[in-house]
Structure 1
Amino acid sequence: MAVTFLGVRHHSPACARLVADTIRSLRPAYVLVEGPAEMNHRMDELLLEHELPIAVYTSYRDSERRHGSWTPLCDYSPEWTALVAGRDVGAELRFIDLPAWHPALAGVRNRYADAEARYTEVTGRLCRTFDVDNVDALWDHLFEIEPAGGLAERLATYFDLVRGDTPAGPDDTAREAYMARWVRAAVADAGDRPVVVVTGGFHRPALVRLAGQGDRDWPEVPRPPVDAVVGSYLVPYSFRRLDAFDGYQSGMPSPGYYQRLWESGPAEAARGLTEAVTARLRARRQPVSTADLIAARATADGLASLRGHPHPARVDVLDGLASALVGEAIETPLPWAARGPLRAGSHPVIVEMVAALSGDRVGRLHPSTPLPPLVHAVLAVLGDPGEERLDLGSDAGRERSRLLHRLRVLRIPGVVRTSGPRPAGDAELTERWTLTEADDRLPALIEAGGYGVDPQEAAAAALAERIPGAGLDELAEVLFDTALCGIGDLTGQVLDDLTRAVEAAADLGELGRVLAVALAMWRHDDLFRTSGGATVGTVVRAATRRALWLAEGVRGGPAPADLRRVGAMTAVRDALRHAGASLGLDTPAALGVADRLAARRDAPPDLRGAALGLGWSLRGTAAADPARAVRGAFVPESAGDWLTGLFALAREEVLHTSGMLELLDDLVGEMTDHDFLVALPALRQAFGFFPPRERHLIATRLVERRTGGASGWDLMRLDAAPELVAAGRALDERVEAALRREGLITP
């Protein structure tokens, strides 16, 4: 019996309508659809009364790879209309593609992403022939806006042309061979009744050729490896996730528009698009007058007529709206003239237009839909929306914190920490969280269910996935997250990887971050309850030695202060101060490095200042004569950067050493106006290391020294912005220089 092969473009209303009409007309014995074959025994679940869009989410995890992919379906997906129409006529329904976890689909995150990239040359020629910007406009021109008559023949011609003799890669070849086996078996079993096959148009020519070659036995669904963890679940989807402008390379962008096209036809879709854009702009207080709308409609109608469209197409309406609503020059190309996410710098009105096209529809699963164990485990304990304050000194507070951190690591929406322990500094015993409702929480939980059956197992798997190939910064974050999540087993693995990375580290800033995290975990083991304190100590020792070695090798002249580098020296100071005796750190050797580095004129100013501060903070004094040490190291052109390093490590020592503020005041006062203005931004950064209370103390002492009275607040509460004061001083200096040059004043 003849087989009807319908090659479609995924998420195309025209194709969806053709598929439904064909199936209802032929009433086939089998409807075969490109989709994950492992879902065939769950077809009843898929066809429950869900509110589309939805997707089949499949997760795969073994010892070597982790993969997640989606098979999205909306009202106007040809695959969905094939299933619905096939059920209505009593046909047997089968998905015929390889399972989503199969290696042939290892690089596919969205099964229904179309294959234009594989035949760009052909589609490019067609775009030039029909004088359109891209394949989306070409598709609308050829199929969505044109009358439906002869659509099947036109689609077949189109896909035969665009694929041509293009050889498929090994992955597509494997998929097509597998789908062809289903076709042959269905034809053999159908007898005299027809069979309808619905696949992406790219695959249609190959399936037509392969349908008559080979055995006719039903193929088995491949089984995953024994050690693999695989799960497939239905998830609510959204138009935003479907939209090509949001990064999803589906067959069609602007799902909100195509939903209207599916429901009401091209004329009503064009009208609805204009109304949606107008409503969105007006809701954001953007002026859209009746005259603007008349102009947009007239332009769209004119463009449609010029382009040979019986009704305005999507790009006709958008071009009309852009011409009427955007009055100034546009720096970036119109987004519907290309594919992919919106470019940075897009005009705000254009951004809102694209958002209006996308639509805000979010799918909803039928209450009977099975959900992974993780969803039930989380929803049972998550609690109501609101603010939470946790006492980390109590067992109950720590357990609640660990649950919320596990959800944070899994990127569950609506779970946000606003304060709590940080990698550096003293441990905080209070943590604050904000829990809010989120439409995309359920999809995120379902997708996270691929990591494990409960929050602890899932978070551990998600963290383990971040380790391979991670740099020092990422490993440090994973290490701290494992502590916050209370996942001791993973900590050992991270620590081993971290220790090896520390010993080979070449970036002082990254190494400082690792040292700060490891030191925090070592110091506050009673809070984090991390296992293997001795191993954490090994990381602290290795990172401290490596950081000092790297710091002594840094060279470079005056440059903006590197705060990550300064932070690394701060972490070294804290390690020596808090863990030096317990971990056997060589403090005398560290002081020797600090002294040598502070005296090196070829070292960066911030690092020299930090080295002086390191020795000062550990010894309690900069040298036998601290004033002499500071005066000898102070260089006007790099004063701000040098002080940044000094204040970061020895702020309190500077503040409470007799005569030191006065010395610094003299040194800054001796700077020329030019040097001071150049150094001002860096000086502001340096003094930013003092908290407000200490800045007030500094201001009070300077005011008393300079004026003998008044309040320190007078220096801290300027009537003008500091930038304006600096600009005024620069102007005064230029005027004074011009007057001296012309002999109008004497030096």
Structure 2
Amino acid sequence: MAGAAPGPAPAARLMTATFIGVRHHSPACARLVAETIERLKPAYVLIEGPADVNDRLDELLLGHELPIAIFSYDGGADHFGTASWTPFCDYSPEWVALTTGRATGADVRFIDLPAWHPAFAGRSNRYADAELRYAEVTERLCREFAADNVDTLWDHLFEADPDDIADRLAQYFDLLRGSEAADEGDTAREEYMARWVRAAVHHAGDRPAVVVTGGFHMPALKAMTVTGDTDWPEIPRSSGASYLVPYSHQRLDAFTGYQSGMPSPEYYHQVWTDGLAKAADGLVESVVDRLRRRKQPVSTADLIAARTLSAGLARLRGHVHPARTDVLDGLVSALVSEDLTQPPPWTRRGPLLPGAHPALVEMVAALSGDRVGRLHPATPAPPLVSAVLQELQELRLDREGLVHLDLTDPAEMTRSRVLHRLRVLHIPGFVRQSGPSSGADPVLDERWQLTPCDERVGALIEAAAFGATLGEAAGGALQRRIPDASMPALAAILFDAALCGISTMSDEVTTTLARRVRGGSDVAALGAVLAGVLGLWRHDRVFGTARDPVLGTVIDVTVTRILWLVEGLHSGPAPADTERLRALVAVRDAVLHADSVLSVERGDVRGVARRIAGDPEAPPDLRGGALGLGWALGELPDVERAVRGMAAPDTLGDWLSGLFAVAREEVLTSGHVVGVLDELVHAMTEDEFLVALPALRLAFAYFPPLERETIAERVLAHRGAPGSARSLLRTTVDPLVVAEAMALDRRVDELLVREGLA
């Protein structure tokens, strides 16, 4: 083979391979790629991209509106849920290499490992920047060039001066890689890509091969292609698939969380099509237009000032035309007069933070743009897409408007299940406005807002990674949520499965839920799980989960765990814990209505309640709740004695919150509880009453208005006082204000007496 020959690429040609190290989505690199391929007319153009789609490159060139992406997934048992995107926009160097290579007659091939390969473990984006993972060199370069971050550094070195950048790129990437050892994933990818390069060089004869990869990989690939086998490598296959999907500039933007290549895709699209000078003017005009549409005042003088400042910053920084940060810094100086609550987002990487100045919000929006890709009509799609679109048409769910569903009607239930499956798959255009929120919710109808949109097909293509049918895909999406879900989230997944009419994954969810419950220590979370699962077990004949034995197992272990935990809780007086009390309510309902699935006897539950109610170290609200639990389960406690034992102003209200939360009905049917409370409250001093009042108000909030009126009637009867109980409940002033006013009157009276003015 021939030795190294000179060339204009970022690295000298090795044998007959010309390596072009690029930064992903860089207009400057894209121009270099196009110029190099057009001049060299290579036999092969090798591109960092998924090799398993090489036999479908014609599909990529059908005539789509960019941005688009190759969406790859593996549905095998060992790789469930593995998915990755390989995005392209008009100025992506990889896309330009593909189109220019085809135009010049080169044999174009992707040479990287498939997206589902273990080398991409943990990455959803093939083009994630390697320099962000090996940041030491870039941090040092940023300090040397006084750049805020790698994006600003790149603009200064390459985009602001895109002419004759080949040597600078080579030096930059050699310095970036240095002696840095790649991780296992990058090493596997580089070894695989090197095999393609050696084979292409071997088969190209005396014609060159052009290799376009991320610049971080270029130094390693040059070293690996000196010696080695020259056979074409095999392409790994899997049980998954790859499809083209529409993409968007927002998904490509670092300000929305994308971690690859250049940020601000709409701006760099203008740089690619119109050049730096026009892109700068366009950015200023776009920001001003957006601000004016939001009724933000921007004068012509502000516009002139922004352009003047941008041009001045560009000259100061050595740029022929204003670069991105020159324009943005000029806009901030001209349009923002007050102090910013956060640094401008282009000084770092990541999404815009909440509370940002309106000018910054509109700058980021202008930088991102709203460009959305569109696939050619002949683009293949997975079977799920056509199946869902047909089902939507048959069920009259493919139109715009409000849909009302009666869940007791089998035909309407079918429509509901389809809509819920689309919801859990995050298919746009289907929003539920109302409906049952749990298995215990008595609501039996739903309202959905349907809005057809262009993004629906792309979302369905991506949803195909979870299953070939809508039911399988929804089940797969729910199953993927299981490993990282909290206990309440697992209960929500179970309810979603019921709404979707999916039973194939319920056993796995409930088994995982039962295992988590046995090791759980959060009483509030356990209570939420118990309430949700109990509702499904008791009431959900509509969704087909009533009396489900697997749900019964979860109920049993959750009740046992909650009882074990609450008996060990000890603390001094504290505000009543509403969520903890709801857990006791759920235990009460389980014992009353699901005793057939419980391994614990009712008498044992009453025993636990009795011990907690009499434990002086237990929190007051828990003691009251425990007494109420025993009372609700048939225990006949000495309530009057218990109330008097908790009569201290700092504990009475919290204790009553627990009692009322768990045994509200028993309190109302008791003939003497209200009377005892009236005596205790009446005997309090004004200071004691002010201490007790907030917790007392919280406790009595457990009673609805009609029941509060009943309590008021009993208070009047206990005092033998005439009057309307309803009028007592219709005060126009907050009781706390009344109590504070009474206390103020008392202090004034005391002051007058002390000073002899009474």
Q: TM-score, normalised by structure 1?
A: 0.91
CA distance in 1, matches of 2:756, 2:461: 79
CA distance in 2, matches of 1:360, 1:420: 33
Q: Shift of residue 702 of structure 1?
A: 6.8
Q: Shift of residue 355 of structure 1?
A: 2.1
Are 1:142 and 2:157 counterparts?
A: yes
Corresponding position of 2:264: 254
The answer to whether the 8 A contact 1:613-1:622 is kept is no
- Secondary structure at the aligned position of 2:20 is classed as strand
Are 1:83 and 2:98 counterparts?
A: yes
Q: Shift of residue 509 of structure 1?
A: 1.7
Structure 1 residues 41, 693: CA separation in 2 closer, same or farther (over 3 Å shift)?
A: farther
Gaps of 5+ in 2: 3-15
Are 1:650 and 2:663 counterparts?
A: yes
Q: Shift of residue 612 of structure 1?
A: 2.4
The answer to whether the 8 A contact 2:46-2:212 is kept is yes
Q: Shift of residue 211 of structure 1?
A: 2.2
Q: Deviations over 1:544-566 (max 9, x none)?
A: 22221211111112223322211
The answer to whether the 8 A contact 1:612-1:622 is kept is no
CA distance in 1, matches of 2:330, 2:741: 50
- Secondary structure at the aligned position of 2:732 is classed as coil
CA distance in 1, matches of 2:685, 2:365: 55
Structure 1 residues 271, 695: CA separation in 2 closer, same or farther (over 3 Å shift)?
A: farther
The answer to whether the 8 A contact 1:554-1:604 is kept is yes
Q: Shift of residue 444 of structure 1?
A: 2.3
Are 1:331 and 2:310 counterparts?
A: no
Corresponding position of 1:94: 109
- Structure 2 residue aligned with 1:294, among 304, 308, 314? 304
Structure 1 residues 70, 616: CA separation in 2 closer, same or farther (over 3 Å shift)?
A: same
Corresponding position of 1:370: 380
- Secondary structure at the aligned position of 2:482 is classed as coil
The answer to whether the 8 A contact 2:74-2:241 is kept is yes
Structure 1 residues 307, 426: CA separation in 2 closer, same or farther (over 3 Å shift)?
A: closer
CA distance in 1, matches of 2:311, 2:737: 55
Corresponding position of 2:481: 466
Corresponding position of 1:431: 446
The answer to whether the 8 A contact 1:740-1:746 is kept is no
Structure 1 residues 678, 202: CA separation in 2 closer, same or farther (over 3 Å shift)?
A: farther
Q: Deviations over 1:588-614 (max 9, x none)?
A: 221222222222221122222222222
- Secondary structure at the aligned position of 1:418 is classed as strand
Corresponding position of 1:58: 72
Structure 1 residues 712, 531: CA separation in 2 closer, same or farther (over 3 Å shift)?
A: closer
The answer to whether the 8 A contact 1:696-1:713 is kept is no
Q: Shift of residue 56 of structure 1?
A: 0.8
CA distance in 2, matches of 1:713, 1:304: 74
Structure 1 residues 473, 180: CA separation in 2 closer, same or farther (over 3 Å shift)?
A: same
- Secondary structure at the aligned position of 2:329 is classed as helix
**Aligned residue type for 2:232:** W
CA distance in 2, matches of 1:304, 1:445: 45
Structure 1 residues 712, 306: CA separation in 2 closer, same or farther (over 3 Å shift)?
A: farther
Are 1:577 and 2:580 counterparts?
A: no
Q: Shift of residue 510 of structure 1?
A: 2.0
The answer to whether the 8 A contact 1:6-1:201 is kept is yes
Q: Shift of residue 52 of structure 1?
A: 1.0
Corresponding position of 2:7: none
Corresponding position of 2:11: none
Q: Shift of residue 618 of structure 1?
A: 3.0
Percent of matched pairs sharing the same residue: 57
CA distance in 2, matches of 1:75, 1:669: 79
Gaps of 5+ in 1: none
- Secondary structure at the aligned position of 1:161 is classed as helix
Corresponding position of 2:249: 239
Q: Shift of residue 338 of structure 1?
A: 1.0
Q: TM-score, normalised by structure 2?
A: 0.90
Are 1:398 and 2:413 counterparts?
A: yes
Corresponding position of 2:129: 114
CA distance in 2, matches of 1:248, 1:136: 13
Corresponding position of 2:278: 268
Q: Shift of residue 145 of structure 1?
A: 1.2
The answer to whether the 8 A contact 2:405-2:412 is kept is yes
CA distance in 1, matches of 2:586, 2:352: 41
Are 1:556 and 2:571 counterparts?
A: yes
CA distance in 2, matches of 1:729, 1:322: 53
Corresponding position of 1:500: 515
The correspondence of residues 650-669 of structure 1 with structure 2, limited to 5 A, is 650-658=663-671, 660-661=673-674, 663-665=676-678, 667-668=680-681
Q: Deviations over 1:232-263 (max 9, x none)?
A: 11111111111111111111111121111112
- Structure 2 residue aligned with 1:351, among 358, 361, 365? 361
The answer to whether the 8 A contact 2:45-2:212 is kept is yes
Q: Deviations over 1:395-448 (max 9, x none)?
A: 223322222222222222333333333336354322333333345433322111
CA distance in 2, matches of 1:308, 1:714: 78
Q: Shift of residue 126 of structure 1?
A: 1.5
Structure 1 residues 355, 670: CA separation in 2 closer, same or farther (over 3 Å shift)?
A: farther
CA distance in 1, matches of 2:311, 2:741: 58
Are 1:48 and 2:62 counterparts?
A: yes
Structure 1 residues 676, 318: CA separation in 2 closer, same or farther (over 3 Å shift)?
A: farther
Deviation larger for 468-477 or 386-395: 468-477
CA distance in 2, matches of 1:613, 1:746: 52
Structure 1 residues 83, 667: CA separation in 2 closer, same or farther (over 3 Å shift)?
A: farther
Deviation larger for 388-397 or 423-432: 423-432
Q: Shift of residue 707 of structure 1?
A: 8.4
Structure 1 residues 360, 718: CA separation in 2 closer, same or farther (over 3 Å shift)?
A: farther
CA distance in 1, matches of 2:697, 2:478: 39
Deviation larger for 213-222 or 689-698: 689-698
Q: Shift of residue 694 of structure 1?
A: 4.2
CA distance in 1, matches of 2:273, 2:716: 75
Corresponding position of 1:448: 463
The answer to whether the 8 A contact 1:700-1:713 is kept is no
CA distance in 2, matches of 1:297, 1:441: 40
Structure 1 residues 302, 683: CA separation in 2 closer, same or farther (over 3 Å shift)?
A: farther
Corresponding position of 1:586: 601
- Secondary structure at the aligned position of 1:33 is classed as strand
The answer to whether the 8 A contact 1:699-1:716 is kept is no
The correspondence of residues 504-519 of structure 1 with structure 2, limited to 5 A, is 504-519=519-534
CA distance in 2, matches of 1:350, 1:702: 61
Deviation larger for 180-189 or 629-638: 629-638
**Aligned residue type for 1:278:** V
The correspondence of residues 535-554 of structure 1 with structure 2, limited to 5 A, is 535-554=550-569
The answer to whether the 8 A contact 2:491-2:529 is kept is yes
Are 1:388 and 2:403 counterparts?
A: yes
Q: Shift of residue 730 of structure 1?
A: 4.9
RMSD: 2.9
Q: Shift of residue 497 of structure 1?
A: 2.7
Q: Shift of residue 179 of structure 1?
A: 0.9
- Secondary structure at the aligned position of 2:135 is classed as helix
CA distance in 1, matches of 2:684, 2:354: 43
Q: Deviations over 1:637-683 (max 9, x none)?
A: 13443333223222333344445445545545555555555555544
Corresponding position of 2:210: 196
Deviation larger for 543-552 or 475-484: 475-484
The answer to whether the 8 A contact 1:488-1:531 is kept is no
Q: How many residues align?
A: 736
The answer to whether the 8 A contact 2:539-2:546 is kept is no
- Secondary structure at the aligned position of 2:465 is classed as coil
Deviation larger for 436-445 or 451-460: 436-445
CA distance in 1, matches of 2:227, 2:690: 82
Corresponding position of 1:210: 224
